[in-house]
């Protein structure tokens, strides 16, 4: 039986409808949510992300501003911009696109962002709060994946989830959220990475496989159990002269063959990425609301 497609569009549209309502309510009290995006260089997945965010923000009435630096920009210039954005009352969310070029100290940049404006949920304070199960900005991609599973009626509790990838922005926080003793969690979680020998021996045991490796073809049909749920996070560029941009985006999963075996699978494009964007705007309106409350509004 070929898999059903778990589309990100439907999930994202629902979230964005809620976000738009919250934007209206904030606007009535004189507050317009504002997101600042900082990009250094031209990482392809970041370019795709920025393009999509701008579109979604405009659609729900969130103001967004992009600061784009050339690849060779130094640490101090990026820090100076973050300091300024931290001070600006009208800026509610700050997102620095990752990865940063190798000469820039990524950790120092993330720590520079005021935690209350860290709509990515990457600041150590927010990561700590998340791990402890406290209220905070949840990282957008892992949170979006939980929303997609819930939307599709996929029960996570008691299931074995195998996550391929352990980055700070996807794999690690996702594994943590799935593990937590609360709604949307309670899974048994295995995390694979480049030091894992024979990843297939783990993914074949999974009820749910999430792939966030950043390499096409990391998950093939022989690596999944019949009826598994497959979530593809990867965003990879492949040349395609027939497409207007000269390239198209594909995920990390060998989609055609895996779809023949899985029960449910997310597409790329049109999957996790769209929901990630919606969760970011969700965090942005929440940051705006919290800022307004702090000012006594």
Tokens of 239: 């040349």
The answer to whether residue 45 forms part of the interface with ligand GUE (CB under 6 A) is yes
**Which among ligand NDP, ligand GUE, none contacts residue 120 (Cβ within 5 to 8 A by kind)?**
ligand GUE
DSSP state letter for 94: E
Answer whether 286's CB lies under 8 Å from 15's CB. no
Q: Residue 261's CB: how many other CB atoms inside 10 A?
A: 20
- Write down the catalytic residue from 97, 118, 207, 232: 97
The answer to whether residue 109 forms part of the interface with ligand NDP (CB under 6 A) is no
CB-based contacts of 193: which residues, under 8 Å, 6+ apart? 164, 165, 166, 171
At residue 3, the 3 state secondary structure works out as: coil
**Which among ligand NDP, ligand GUE, none contacts residue 236 (Cβ within 5 to 8 A by kind)?**
ligand NDP
Residues 144-203 that bind ligand GUE (CB under 6 A): 169
Specify whether 97 is catalytic.
yes
- Write down the catalytic residue from 43, 56, 118, 120: 120
The answer to whether residue 283 forms part of the interface with ligand GUE (CB under 6 A) is no
**Which among ligand GUE, ligand NDP, none contacts residue 167 (Cβ within 5 to 8 A by kind)?**
ligand NDP
CB of 293 to ligand NDP, least distance (A): 29
Stretch that binds ligand GUE, among 48-56, 146-154, 185-193, 288-296 (CB under 6 A): 48-56
- Closest C-alpha to 234, from 77, 44, 31, 37: 44
Tell me how far CA of residue 54 lies from CA of 184, 202, 209, 251, in angstroms: 29, 38, 30, 22
Residue 165 annotated as lining a ligand binding site: yes
Residues 154-173 that bind ligand NDP (CB under 6 A): 164-167, 169-171
The answer to whether residue 5 forms part of the interface with ligand GUE (CB under 6 A) is no
Complete DSSP assignment for 137-198: PPPHHHHHHHHHHHHTT---TT-EEEEE---TTTHHHHHHHHHSSSTT---EEEEE-TT-S-
For ligand NDP, give the closer residue by CB, 233 or 254.
Answer: 233
- Size of the chain in residues: 297
Specify whether 120 is catalytic.
yes
- Closest C-alpha to 284, from 75, 53, 40: 53
Residue 39 annotated as lining a ligand binding site: no
Residues 206-245 that bind ligand NDP (CB under 6 A): 212-215, 218, 233-236
Measure the CA–CA gap between 268 and 8, rounded to whole angstroms.
Answer: 9
Residue 235 annotated as lining a ligand binding site: yes
For ligand NDP, give the closer residue by CB, 84 or 215.
Answer: 215
Specify whether 205 is catalytic.
no
The answer to whether residue 149 forms part of the interface with ligand NDP (CB under 6 A) is no
CB-based contacts of 127: which residues, under 8 Å, 6+ apart? 121, 168, 173
Beta strands 236-239 and 247-250: pairing type?
antiparallel
Measure the CA–CA gap between 71 and 51, rounded to whole angstroms.
Answer: 18
Residue numbers belonging to the annotated binding site for NADP(+): 165-167, 235
Active site residues: 53, 97, 120
Interface contacts to ligand GUE, rule CB under 6 A: 45-46, 48-49, 51-52, 95-98, 120, 140-141, 169, 235, 249, 268-271, 273-274, 276-277
Q: Which residue ranges make up the site for ligand NDP (CB under 6 A)? A: 45, 141, 164-167, 169-171, 192-195, 199, 212-215, 218, 233-236, 272-273, 276
């Amino acid at each position: 039986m070929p898999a059903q497609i778990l589309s990100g569009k439907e999930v994202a549209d629902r979230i964005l409808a809620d976000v738009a309502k919250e934007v209206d309510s904030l606007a009535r009290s004189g507050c317009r949510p504002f997101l600042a995006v900082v990009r250094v260089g031209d990482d392809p997945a970041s370019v795709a992300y920025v393009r999509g965010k701008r579109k979604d923000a405009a659609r729900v009435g969130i103001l967004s501003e992009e600061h784009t630096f050339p690849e060779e920009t130094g640490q101090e210039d990026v820090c100076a911009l973050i300091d300024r954005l931290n001070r600006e009352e009208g800026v509610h969310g700050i997102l620095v696109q990752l990865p940063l070029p190798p000469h820039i100290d990524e950790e120092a940049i993330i720590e520079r962002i005021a935690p209350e404006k860290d709509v990515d949920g990457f600041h150590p304070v927010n990561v700590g709060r998340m791990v402890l199960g406290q209220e905070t900005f949840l990282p957008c991609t892992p949170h979006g994946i939980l929303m997609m599973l819930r939307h599709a009626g996929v029960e996570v509790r008691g299931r074995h989830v195998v996550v391929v990838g352990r980055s700070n922005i996807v794999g690690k926080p996702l594994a943590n959220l799935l593990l937590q003793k609360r709604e949307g969690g309670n899974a048994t979680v295995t995390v694979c990475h480049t030091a894992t020998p024979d990843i297939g021996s783990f993914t074949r045991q999974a009820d749910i496989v999430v792939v966030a490796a950043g390499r096409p073809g990391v998950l093939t049909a022989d690596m999944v159990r019949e009826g598994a749920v497959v979530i593809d996070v990867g965003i990879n560029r492949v040349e395609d002269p027939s497409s207007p941009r000269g390239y198209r985006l594909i995920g990390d999963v060998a989609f055609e063959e895996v779809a023949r075996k899985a029960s449910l699978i997310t597409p790329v494009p049109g999957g996790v990425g769209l929901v990630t964007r919606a969760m970011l705007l969700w965090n942005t309106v929440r940051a705006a609301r919290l800022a307004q409350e702090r000012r006594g509004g």
